[in-house]
Chain A
Amino acid sequence: MKTYTLTSIILSVGLGLSSLSAATLADAANIDVAKVCDVKANGIEGVLKTAAEYNALAKKLGVEFKRKGVTTSQYITDTEAAVKAKAKEVTLKYTKKGKVKKHTFATTYAAWRACHFAVRAVQQVNEAETTWRLAVPGDGFKF
């Protein structure tokens, strides 16, 4: 009996901790991306932390974004580095057809974008659950 209680305490503490640190699909459904990715309201570190949590899930689900040569992961690591260096701007380098190119953004904007990309990627997985069949001929798609 004692062991049982102990295990269940350990279990629930463990679960509690993991729900703090790891984003889930269910969490994603209920959050307002504009709010959680607002740099003024949450601080740049807070926004980047949210970005990292959701992007880890996005990667696990195989839905990470890549916009104009730059993945969400790169947005996160390069923006984190800029924050550490107290830089006002982030330069994101990427290669296209063997040539190195770059985008430069305000650090706050890059953080917002990293967070937005990470959360939206996961939210889209939820949204697709109810929409994908609507596009299948003979199923939800009538013609």
Chain B
Amino acid sequence: MNVIKITVAALLMASLASAASFNTQAEKDRKALIAYMEKKFSDPAKNKGSFFPYSTNEELSKRFTKGIKRDAFRLGSYAYDKGGKSQYDEVMEMPPFEDNIDAGKALYEKKFANGKTFKSCFPDPAIAGEYPKFDDKKGTVVTLTLAINECLKANGEKPWKMKKGKMADLEAYFASASTEAGKKVHIVIQSEAAAQAYEAGKKAYYSQRGYLKLSCATCHVQGTGKRVRNEYMSPLLGHTTHFPVYRLKWQGLGTLERRIEGCNKDEGEKPHKPGSPWMSNVLYFMAYMSNEMPVDGPAIRK
């Protein structure tokens, strides 16, 4: 009897261990990224030698915020750049994306030709932090953008463009509903295949690419706190918490896919298509890095 009990307990523990182990590496990566960013920005002026050799003392001591903790990094460069943050706060007093949220809500409730609505696919709109997911049946990553298009297709509607317009509006509504509900980023790696997609995304993120031979990490991990064309670069940590984003440069909203296309161009490579395996895997990896952070969208960026 005792033997049986022990065996059952051992089996149970083994299965629990393997369920947890699919994200073991991802958890290590996430914690190390948090540790890196928190250490780097614990005291930028004091860390000049180790983290900011090319910055001036003046910049580090006067312009930068100290002691930044994980959740604050969702503000991007405004987490540490005091000047950028005060401009951000000003624009956020009258956010230019309110109409987009309303338009998104209307799209959410609008009937398809078959009489159903998006509710049939997404009963709860507060799901911005749940995506991307790995679909074990399909063996691929499903981003929120792809899930929305799948819903449209399943209901006999035409899929939408993935960078702006209706897609960005509906995602703005989902983001705002998630923010209001106090949701956090919650990305799951539940299987070996999911872990492989995560690893593929991570490798793509850290691989140097394009004419300029830059990786995403050159600018958004090691490069955070440095400037490119007079813009401070934001951290990978928190990159997916607040999309879609209203960019002053765009004079409108754009999805994560749209933003990343711009960064691909900056690297001198042919941009990856929204919905491509490359894009989906990279987004899966990026979103995992923001796990447990509050959803905080839509947001505004220069």
Contacts and interface: CB of A to CB of B under 8 A. Distances in A.
Given A143-B36, A143-B39, A138 B29 contact: yes
Contact of B221 (A65, A66, A128, A137): A137
B215 interface: yes
A137 B213 contact: no
Given A67-B211, A128-B207, A62 B278 contact: yes
A12 interface: no
B265 A138 contact: no
B28 interface: yes
A127 interface: yes
B211 A117 contact: yes
A77 interface: no
A65 B214 CA distance: 12
Interface string B198-233: 000011001111110101011001100000000000
B33 A137 contact: yes
Interface string A37-72: 000000000000000000000000011111100011
Contacts of B209: 63, 124, 128
Contact of A136 (B202, B269, B276): B202
Secondary structure type dominating chain A contacts:
mixed
A135 B217 contact: yes
Contacts of A24: none
Given A124-B213, A135-B218, A65 B39 contact: no
A133 interface: yes
B272 interface: yes
B36 A65 contact: no
Contacts of A64: 269-270
Contacts of B221: 135, 137, 141
Given A65-B211, A137-B35, A132 B206 contact: yes
B206 A136 contact: yes
A32 interface: no
B92 interface: no
Given A66-B270, A137-B36, A132 B215 contact: yes
A67 B272 CA distance: 14
Contacts of B32: 136-139
B213 to A, nearest CB: 6
Nearest to B32: A138
A131 interface: yes
B217 to A, nearest CB: 5
8 contacts: A65-B270, A66-B210, A72-B270, A128-B203, A131-B208, A135-B217, A138-B28, A143-B50
9 pairs of A and B residues whose beta carbons are closest in the complex: A138-B32, A128-B207, A137-B36, A132-B206, A66-B270, A137-B32, A64-B270, A132-B207, A135-B217
Given A141-B36, A143-B51, 17 more contacts: A62-B272, A62-B276, A63-B269, A66-B271, A72-B270, A121-B269, A124-B208, A124-B213, A127-B208, A132-B206, A135-B215, A136-B29, A136-B202, A138-B29, A138-B31, A141-B221, A143-B35
